[in-house]
Structure 1
Amino acid sequence: MAKVTNIVFGGLGGQGVLTASDILADAVARAGFDVKKSELHGMSQRGGSVSSDVRYGPTVLSPMVPVGEADYLVVLEATQVEPNQPVLRPDGILIPPDVIPPDGLKNKKSFNVAMLGALSAFLDIPEATWLDAIHARLAAKLHRLNDEAFALGRKSARARFNLS
Structure 2
Amino acid sequence: MVTEKTANRAVNVVIAGLGGQGVVKASDILADAAFRQGLDVKKSELHGMSQRGGSVSSDVRFGPKVDSPMISPGQADFLVVVAADQVDVNRPALKAGGRLISPALLAGAPGKLPAKSVNVALLGLLSRQLDIPVEHWEAAIRANLAEKHHRLNLEAFQLGRQMA
TM-score (norm 2): 0.92
1:104, distance to aligned residue in structure 2 (A): 3.6
Structure 1 residues 104, 90: CA separation in 2 closer, same or farther (over 3 Å shift)?
A: farther
Supply the RMSD in Å over aligned alpha carbons: 1.4
Cα deviation, 1:36-68, whole Å, max 9, x if unaligned, reads: 000100111111100000000000000001111
User: Which residue of the partner structure matches residue 68 of structure 2?
Assistant: 62
- SS of residue in 1 equivalent to 2:62: strand
Cα deviation, 1:58-107, whole Å, max 9, x if unaligned, reads: 00000001111100000011111111111100100001111113664442
Quick one: distance in 2 between partners of 1:71 and 1:64?
13
Residue identity matched to 1:78: A
| Equivalent residue in structure 2 for 1:51, among 47, 57, 67 | 57
Structure 1 residues 31, 81: CA separation in 2 closer, same or farther (over 3 Å shift)?
A: same
Quick one: distance in 2 between partners of 1:6 and 1:118?
16
- SS of residue in 2 equivalent to 1:122: coil
User: Which residue of the partner structure matches residue 130 of structure 1?
Assistant: 137
Residue identity matched to 1:46: R
Quick one: distance in 1 between partners of 2:88 and 2:21?
18
Instruction: Please identify, of 140-149 and 32-41, the stretch whose mean Cα deviation from structure 2 is larger.
Output: 140-149
Hey, which bits of structure 1, 4+ residues long, moved more than 4 A?
Answer: none
Q: Can you give the 5+ residue segments of structure 1 that lack an aligned partner in the other structure?
A: 158-164
User: Which residue of the partner structure matches residue 160 of structure 2?
Assistant: 153
User: Which residue of the partner structure matches residue 13 of structure 1?
Assistant: 19
1:2, distance to aligned residue in structure 2 (A): 2.4
Question: In 2, are the aligned partners of 1:12 and 1:77 still within 8 Å (CA)?
Answer: yes
- SS of residue in 1 equivalent to 2:89: helix
- SS of residue in 2 equivalent to 1:68: coil
Quick one: distance in 2 between partners of 1:2 and 1:69?
16
Structure 1 residues 51, 148: CA separation in 2 closer, same or farther (over 3 Å shift)?
A: same
User: Which residue of the partner structure matches residue 2 of structure 1?
Assistant: 8
Residue identity matched to 2:62: Y
**Percent identical:** 61
